[in-house]
Amino acid sequence: MNLMMRKDVPVEETWDLTDIFPSDLEWESAYAAAEQELDIIIEGEISLLTSAEVLDFLRKYDDLMGKLERISSYGFFKYSEDESDPVNQKLMGRSQLLDGKGKKVSAKLINGLLQIPKEVMAQYVDEEKDLLIYGRFLQRVEETQKYTLPSDMEEILASLDRTLATPESIYLMVTSSDLTFEPVKDGKGKEVPVSLHMYMTQIETSPDTVLRRNAYHSLTKALQNYQHGLAKTLASEVNKNVSLAKLRGFPSALDMHLQFSPASNNFYTTDEISTEFFEQILDTFQPGLSPHMQKYAELRKNQLGLDKLLFSDVKAPLDPDFNPAISYQEAGEIITEAVGVLGSEFQNEMRKAFTDRWVYRGDNAGRRMIAFGGGVHGVHGYSFYPWGGSLFDMLLLSHELGHTIHYSLSAQNQRVINNAQSMLFVEAPSTLVEHLVIQYLRKHRNEPRLLRWLNMYLIMSYHHNCVTHVLEAELLRRLYKTVENNEPLTTSIISDTKGNILSTFWGETVEIDEGAKLTWMRQPHYYMGLYPFTYSVGMSAATVLAHRIKEEGVRLGEQWTNVLKQGGNRKGLDLYKMAGIDLSATDIFNQTVDYVGAIVDELERSF
């Protein structure tokens, strides 16, 4: 059995990209116009000698960045549909070239703004109040000043943007197009195809032990064939960031990842939290969750009647015979109803995601490995999630749609150059939607077995967001410190370090084999700075917020929706404060750990 080709995916399972560009021809026209505009700026001089000139150029720059986002998003979305298609590869490649020119323009503007003394900029703002419209962008420029290099060096780095992104590009290409897995037999002898996405979203959580273990062996065998090349790729990423941190004058790469967001980056921004606080988060979750998850692992082993719990079994359902199917249409109705507590505006946006085809859900060969939710400024949100037809899929889709609606709302209310989302905040909107769907099902489906399944899903969600991703962040912490201690990163060092982290966390309850040590090969998160740890932060905030919304209702839900509209216009910690959540200390993380323990105890009683 082979996956279908992109051309065979039914239209209703694809997203409608005509809202971005009606056709590739219109994309070509927009591309040519934007490239010409970029080239003129790159080859000319930017005059920022008066407040009027600064305002005029910021307006032009904001408009240009919006155009670039539409152009690059269209190329990326096409590429996500089928990364093996040469036409899509060309679209993506050309989009990256144009993005590179966009970064040169950004570097040129930011270097010019950095030459303006603070007191002069303050005078400009007094003269031209419309400059306040771009206040968050100007604030980010000022924040980067301490670690900004001389203008000629910044321009060189901007020109090397694609080269510096090579490790991630290689990883994505290998895992989506080159890495193939042998099909396996399930418990009934039926052949089942294996892919990374299918394994992580369907097979790993399958009740079929034979299928899980066979697929795990297929996965491990394929990963082993690429382990040395991808270890070198990951080592290159780590070494690159260590060098950049030194170049910019940071004490460590961890400090750079947590405290530096180039103002030219229009996607994510840091909250300038300390490395000490980052490490406190890791050191709170790992020892706190470990005993609860080991207890749950023992419950799983006993309930499934396994003589030993392999790493391929750690996400197996405790009630193997309960796996309700659900149609995409019904899932859409449930998700849309569940988010009603966030107010009519949020709910209407969610409804459009289903009625207006904002979601690509085809499970075809060559498609992107990892699901995502985002959007296009000036258009609306989009999600990518290959649909499998189960309750599990519905909840994972709801997570991605949480990102989608967050982006859609923030883009409607913020300027594009102000709207770089806070990494510390960005996972809260998505995980909250998951919680709300679970609350909705608990309220409207009074079926003991389903309610128990929802508890199991919650543990699985905490496992994924507060265990898997925290352990990813722990590996990053150790790899960066290894390199900064002048030790090389080899395949064995990366895999053994991962194995040690897993063994410490799971103790004697789970068998950590060679395949488990290779889990660093499954995720692109290692090429996204310290992004993995943000899941635990967002999950903790969503846990607290979901309980409060359940008690207080739509009033608090609408308050949250208004927070989402702020997008990147405020820092993450400030956004949480607007929602009534204090994340300046680790108390909230301990509350999450305790909640996980309570769910495990409840599940143990239910069996």
DSSP-assigned letters across all residues of 282-332: HHHHHHHHHHHHHHHHHHHHHHHT-SS-BGGGTT--SSTT---B--HHHHH
d(CA 546, CA 576): 14
16 residue type, one letter: D
Cα dihedral: 458, 462, 465, 471 (round 10): -150
Per-residue model confidence (pLDDT) at position 207: 86
Task: Point out which residues pair with 312 in neighbouring strands.
Answer: none
Q: Residue 479: what pLDDT? A: 98
pLDDT, tens only, 348-364: 999 999 999 999 999 99
Q: Domain coordinates of the chain in residue numbers?
A: 7-165, 234-265+282-308+318-485+528-607
Cα distances from 436 to residues 385, 433, 575, 590, in angstroms, run: 19, 5, 20, 22
Structure tokens at 294: 């080991």
- Provide the residue count of the chain: 607
Q: Which of the following CATH numbers is that of domain 7-165: 1.20.140.70, 2.20.25.90, 2.60.120.10, 3.30.1320.10?
A: 1.20.140.70
Which band of pLDDT confidence, cut at 50, 70 and 90, is reported for residue 242?
very high
pLDDT class of 427 with cuts at 50, 70, 90:
very high
**pTM for the full predicted model:** 0.89
Helix H, strand E, coil C: the string for 433-484 is HHHHHHHHHHHHCCCHHHHHHHHHHHHHHHHHHHHHHHHHHHHHHHHHHHHH
pLDDT tens digits along 126-175: 999 999 999 999 999 998 888 888 888 887 887 888 899 999 999 988 98
Query: What is the model's pLDDT at position 2?
Result: 67
| Percent over 70 (pLDDT), the chain | 99
Written as one letter, the residue type at 215 is A
Q: For 210-237, what is the mean pLDDT? A: 96
- In the numeric block, the tokens 């990423």 are attached to 237
Task: Enumerate residues 6+ apart whose C-beta is below 8 A from 309.
Answer: 297, 300, 301, 509, 510, 511
Mean pLDDT of 539-552: 95
CA triplet 478, 247, 163: central angle to 5 degrees?
A: 80
* 262 pLDDT more than 80: no
pLDDT at 536: 93
User: What architecture is domain 234-265+282-308+318-485+528-607?
Assistant: Orthogonal Bundle (1.10)
Rounded average pLDDT over 432-451: 94
| Residue with more model confidence, 473 or 3 | 473
Question: Which has the minimum average pLDDT: 99-103, 175-179, 479-483?
Answer: 175-179
> In the 8-state DSSP scheme, what is residue 343?
-
Find the range with the poorest average confidence among 194-198, 239-243, 387-391, 445-449: 194-198
Residue 264, pLDDT score: 65
Number of neighbours of residue 386 by Cβ within 10 angstroms: 22
Q: 2 or 337: which carries more pLDDT confidence?
A: 337
pLDDT band at 53 (very low <50, low <70, confident <90, very high): very high
Query: Among 144-153, 253-262, 589-598, whose mean pLDDT is lowest?
Result: 144-153
- Reading the block at residue 463, the tokens are 């496992």
Nearest residue to 387 (alpha-carbon basis) of 446, 470, 330, 457: 330
Asked whether the predicted pLDDT for residue 230 surpasses 90, the reply is: yes
pLDDT at 325 over 70: yes
**The predicted structure's pLDDT at residue 263:** 65
Which are the contacts of 57, defined by CB distance < 8 A and separation ≥ 6? Answer: 46, 47, 48, 109
Per DSSP, the three-state class of 181 is coil
